[in-house]
Amino acid sequence: MHRLFVAIRPPANIRAELLNLMHGIMGARWQDDEQLHLTLRFVGEIDRPQANDLADALGNIRFSPFQLALSGVGCFDRKGQVHTLWAGVQPRDPLAQLHRKVDRACIRTGLSPDNRSYFPHVTLARFSRTAGPMEPFMNLHAALASAPFTVDEFALYESHLGQTGSAYHRIERYRADLPAPRSKTTFTPPF
């Protein structure tokens, strides 16, 4: 089985800006550079034939390059308990359009539609119940903004869960307005 997701990897300068923010909250499990991404669709665990079909279906998606910029920080909570700290991005419309195209490709390969509301963000940290106060961090970075950056590709990733967190392996890259790859993608374990 392959645990997959589709995401955009911000450029190195944007990732560096995010990495420079990552401190000041006790108990935070900060993301590292390799983990910074903007999810378009979480796929979950699927078998190799369906993974290959998905990789091919994603190659049929057409989109034009667009601009994004970091925009503020926030957090997700469950029953009042914060579990994720994130950086936002703007504008959201081109991401929502690309998300819908990725979701349709997933559906064509037999996956269920993504019925959750799509909220584009880059995860900065995850928390257990013992995390320190977040208000100072949130107040300091509430106006986070970056220079615009161009999104001209997205990728299919495989996630491998380990004792120190998740490791991500890029399976296939899909460029804006370029023809689909000519050969079928074949999944082989990266390790």
Helix (H, G, I), strand (E, B) or coil at 93: helix
Q: What pLDDT does 184 receive?
A: 55
Please check whether residue 184 lies inside any domain of the structure: no
CATH code for position 21: 3.90.1140.10
Please check whether residue 183 lies inside any domain of the structure: no
Please check whether residue 182 lies inside any domain of the structure: no
Q: pLDDT tens digits, residue range 18-53?
A: 999 999 898 899 999 999 999 999 999 999 999 999
Please check whether residue 54 lies inside any domain of the structure: yes
Q: What pLDDT does 133 receive?
A: 85
Evaluate whether 41 touches 99 at the Cβ level (below 8 Å).
yes
Q: Which two tokens stand for residue 25?
A: 């909250």
Residues of the chain with pLDDT under 50: 189-191
Q: pTM here?
A: 0.87
Amino acid at 173: R
Please check whether residue 189 lies inside any domain of the structure: no
- Between CA 145 and CA 170, with CA 88 as vertex, the angle to 5 degrees is 110
Helix (H, G, I), strand (E, B) or coil at 74: strand
**Strand pairing partners for 45?**
3
Instruction: Output the CA torsion 78→83→85→90 (10° steps).
Output: -40
Cβ count within 10 A of residue 47: 11
Evaluate whether 121 touches 42 at the Cβ level (below 8 Å).
no
Q: What pLDDT does 187 receive?
A: 57
Please check whether residue 181 lies inside any domain of the structure: no
Domain that holds residue 130: 2-175
Helix (H, G, I), strand (E, B) or coil at 98: helix
Q: Which two tokens stand for residue 132?
A: 């320190």
Work out how many domains the chain is built from and give that number.
Answer: 1
Identify which of 133, 153, 149 has the alpha carbon closest to the alpha carbon of residue 17: 149
Evaluate whether 184 touches 56 at the Cβ level (below 8 Å).
yes
Please check whether residue 186 lies inside any domain of the structure: no
Q: Nearest 5°: phi and psi at 35? A: -95, -10
Looking at residue 131, the DSSP 8-state letter turns out to be: -
Q: Which two tokens stand for residue 134?
A: 């977040």
Alpha helices by DSSP H, 64-130:
93-108
Q: Which two tokens stand for residue 64?
A: 């034009």
Please check whether residue 130 lies inside any domain of the structure: yes
